[in-house]
Amino acid sequence: MSHHFVVLLLLILSISVTSADTGETKQQLQSIKTEIQALSRDVSQNKASKSELYSQLKQQSRAVSTLNKELLTIKQKMSAQKRDLRKLQQHVEQQQGAHLEQLEALNQQIRSSYFQGKPSLLKVLLNQHDPATISRSSSYFRYFNQARQQQLNEINLTLNNLSHEQKELYIAQKKQTQLYAEQKNKQQQLTAQTVLRQTTLTQLEAKITDQDSRLNSLREEEDSLQALLQSLNQPKASVTQKPIIHKSPFGQRAGLLTWPIKGKILAHYGSSRNIGKLTWQGILISSPAGKDIVAAAPGQVIFADWLRGFGLLIIIDHGDQYMTLYGNNETLLKRAGDSVSAGELIAQSGNKGVRQHAGLYFEIRYKGSPTNPLKWLSKRS
């Protein structure tokens, strides 16, 4: 309730107690009531507007994540295609080299035969009288023609293979060009969605200005997370979840967990948030947008979506009621139900979100309650 709203209510009570029931008093009361009604409408509209903005932010964040994931897939395809292109080009060059060598060998054979003045088979046979000599001459010419025919066959085979390889090379080059075009298109879509998302964030920040509204907003965000965690802990009747079994249970991994991202710690667990008595329930790790985020330990992804105050969020269940939370992401690379190993890529870090910080927000929870992540993460060198 705003300060102006409270003042108007006190004024109504004051007028009601101290004033006589005159026409002027009724007019004052009616005027104040009208203003209160207008303020109530403004408050309701403001709440509806904020809710709509959060809904827009959710959709836009999802779109940005999807486009980033598609761009990453295209990039991987382009890298694989580039390797294939190099192999094809090398093969074509080898085939062309072999073709030239075969042509040169055939040319040398023909020139050698010509300069040595080898007579025709018919002429040799007519000039010979010894049957043994005739047989040797016949065999010589037959072997010579067979060798030349074999070379011609090899040349034809090389040419056919070369044509096939050249076709494959052309198809690969065409596919690479299509991937470049697809990448450019996705990049343009991503830019547009990023601008929309930033505009929505700016509008939300304009509505969360004073300390009371920020405090209320943070409490609502924490309530949303608690409600989510409770719903995730509820057994699903339609889904039979397999227990998560690891060689080393999460509870025995204190001081051994993989850091989800490298960077400076901007906020420590338990430190003040400078808003009321609220404290940080995780750690905030500084990092540029788009950096790889990995799983701190093996487990199963049980949530991968947008959540108010946490942006694009991934929650991993590690069994024995332990969970790790990775918030403020730009791209989600895993879906609910995916199994992950320690150090496996799960997301990419985001820019300044509702929390006004770039990097990763990381929590560890046991039985739904937060615990200090620095007691679990490995010592950094």
Sketch the domain layout of the chain as residue ranges. Answer: 1-113+164-207, 211-375
123 burial type by CB count under 10 A (0-12 exposed, 13-18 middle, 19+ buried): exposed
The answer to whether the CB of 286 falls within 8 A of the CB of 263 is: yes
The pLDDT of residue 123 is 52
Please name the amino acid found at residue 120. S
Spatial neighbors of 9 by CB under 8 A, at least 6 apart, are 36
Fold assignment, 211-375? Glucose Permease (Domain IIA) (2.70.70)
CA 47, 48, 52, 58 dihedral sign is positive
CA distance 110 to 144: 10
CA-derived radius of gyration, the chain: 39
Q: Is the pTM of this model over 0.75?
A: no
The predicted pLDDT at position 218 comes to 79
Whole-angstrom CA distances from 156 to 88, 93, 152, 344 are: 20, 17, 6, 51
Task: Please answer whether residues 369 and 226 qualify as being in contact, where contact means their C-beta atoms are separated by less than 8 angstroms.
Answer: no
Local mean pLDDT, 10-residue blocks, the chain (381 residues): 50 50 59 56 56 84 87 84 77 68 59 51 50 51 59 59 64 73 79 79 71 73 85 63 67 94 93 84 91 95 93 94 94 95 94 69 94 93 54
CA distance 54 to 56: 5
- The per-residue pLDDT for 235 is 64
Which residue in the block uniquely carries the two structure tokens 């905030």? 284
Q: What is the pLDDT of residue 188?
A: 81
Burial 83-99 (b: 16+ CB within 10 A, else e): eebeebeeebeebeeeb
Over the chain, what HEC string results?
CCHHHHHHHHHHHHHHHHCCCCHHHHHHHHHHHHHHHHHHHHHHHHHHHHHHHHHHHHHHHHHHHHHHHHHHHHHHHHHHHHHHHHHHHHHHHHHHHHHHHHHHHHHHHHHHHHHCCCCCHHHHHHHCCCHHHHHHHHHHHHHHHHHHHHHHHHHHHHHHHHHHHHHHHHHHHHHHHHHHHHHHHHHHHHHHHHHHHHHHHHHHHHHCCCHHHHHHHHHHHHHHHHHHHHHHHCCCCCCCCCCCCCCCCHHHCCCCECCCCCCCEEECCCCECCCCCCECCCEEEECCCCCEEECCCCEEEEEEEEECCCEEEEEEEEECCEEEEEEEEEEECCCCCCEECCCCEEEEEECCCCCCCCEEEEEEEECCEEECHHHCECCCC
- Answer yes or no: are the C-beta atoms of 331 and 68 closer than 8 Å: yes
Q: At what angle do helices 3-18 and 23-115 cross, to 10 degrees?
A: 170
Angstrom CA distances, 43 to 4, 33, 48, 260, stand at 12, 15, 9, 41
- Cβ neighbours of residue 33 under 8 Å, at least 6 residues apart? 12
CB atoms within 10 A of CB 269: 20
Distance between CA atoms of 328 and 221, rounded to whole angstroms? 13
